[in-house]
Amino acid sequence: MVGVEELSSETLPVWLAPHTRTPIDGVITVPGSKSITNRAFILAALADGPSAIVGALRSRDTNLMLAALKSIGVGVRDQGSEIHIEPRPLRGGTINCGLAGTVMRFVPPVAAIATGTVFFDGDPQARTRPMSTMLDALRELGIQVQGDALPFIIDGVGTPTGGTVDIDASGSSQFVSGLLLAGARFSNGITVRHTGGNLPSMPHIEMTIAMLAEAGVTVDTSRANEWTVPAGPISGRTWRIEPDLSNATPFLAAAAVTGGTARIRHWPQRTTQPGDAIRGILERMGCTVDITAVGPSYDLVVTGPAGGVYGEHGLKGISIDLSDVGELTPTVAALAALANTESRLTGITHLRGHETDRLAALTREINNIGGQCTELADGLRISPVPREQLHGGLWHSYADHRMATAGAIIGLAVPGIEVEDIATTTKTLPDFANMWTKLVAHG
């Protein structure tokens, strides 16, 4: 995790964010969901038979997940449009987590099922990301673990006993999901009890539970903040991956900023993805939002207020609890920095432990270009400033893909925004810069 006072001294490439006063008008096809893809990979690796993943996201995070599973013995056959996964006995290996939270938190319980020693490491920034909750949980379940953060070592035992474990998952819902995904392969199953404060990103836990159900595993959720996965089979199946709705949000924000229209293809009518919440957020900020049937599927169509942020009415600020949808914070904060009334984004303390401390990073970068952002105990207060007060400058990405896309959004309205290391978006959306440039050029 890159701290805001620990910026690398290395010279990273900068990307001049496209600027426009013309309304954008584009049709965007967003690749598959990272969250669903990586959960499908885990369940396929642990299943009783082969699985096929159709429409999987191809990005750094998903490539790291596949490589991690292959390194401990899982069979992977990439056929382009489909990825076929063959479960095999798991063995020791070496895993590079990169900066992927799903790899560093979902794979350790799988490693406990391996026979042998599994070594984990990742990017330098990843070594400060919270991991002790997961590693202490595995210790409580009888697994030998060396270390409390990356790098760490897990000595797999083949078939762990499992049982009940108490954890404080207030730092990340991924700790719960990681244990649940592998729970059916522990001889006594797993019961996870959350004992801490507010549990963030509940929709991601609900996504995990729904995908387990699709694989034939029923999770008992009858008690608050407690989940029980019984020991039992996990079915191999064909997984069809939805578009990544969170990765779609910058393109929708472009419509809001410019007063244009963005159409996202194949928007699901029903989904467990938290990114779906962007529809209501954009409506509250002054956009028109419609879902339109196109053949057998649906498009999400967002049109910004006339004139966008330069129009008579502009964008409205928003006061909102983002605890369930914290991943949308950088997009919403970028819009709030351009809005004409104050915004308060709360319930997002856990973002301090993401790829970077996103609250501190957003505050620093918005203020550095003339905005007014104040860090709160659990979020951000972003106040409007005269449009001419905002100015160009270097927007640090902190090796965080969502910080990079936030800079691109602001650059639409503020000329001269130079986003550091736009290539960090390859974490979840490898073609972002090209897609963004084409969208603005075709406005």
Known binding-site residues for phosphoenolpyruvate equal 34, 101, 129, 174, 358, 402, 427
- The residue type at 47: A
Crossing angle for the helix pair 174-182 and 34-46, to the nearest 10 degrees: 30
268 CB-side CA count, 13 A: 18
DSSP result, 4-68: TT---SS---EEE----SSPPEEEE---B-HHHHHHHHHHHHHSSS-EEEES---SHHHHHHHHH
Report yes or no: 317 and 343 within 8 Å, Cβ to Cβ.
yes
Known binding-site residues for 3-phosphoshikimate equal 34-35, 39, 172-174, 201, 327, 354
Instruction: Choose among 166, 172, 129, 179: nearest CA to 150.
Output: 129
Known binding-site residues equal 34-35, 39, 101, 129, 172-174, 201, 327, 354, 358, 402, 427
Instruction: Choose among 301, 291, 350, 300: nearest CA to 322.
Output: 350
Task: Report the alpha-carbon distance of residue 60 to residue 146 in Å, rounded.
Answer: 27
Task: Report the alpha-carbon distance of residue 355 to residue 144 in Å, rounded.
Answer: 27
Q: How many CB atoms lie within 10 A of CB 299?
A: 18
Name the one residue in this structure whose structure tokens are 């996201």: 57
Among 5, 6, 312, 327, which one carries the catalytic annotation? Answer: 327
List 322's β-bridge partners, or say none.
none
> Among this protein's residues, is 355 annotated catalytic?
no
Q: Which residues are catalytic?
A: 327
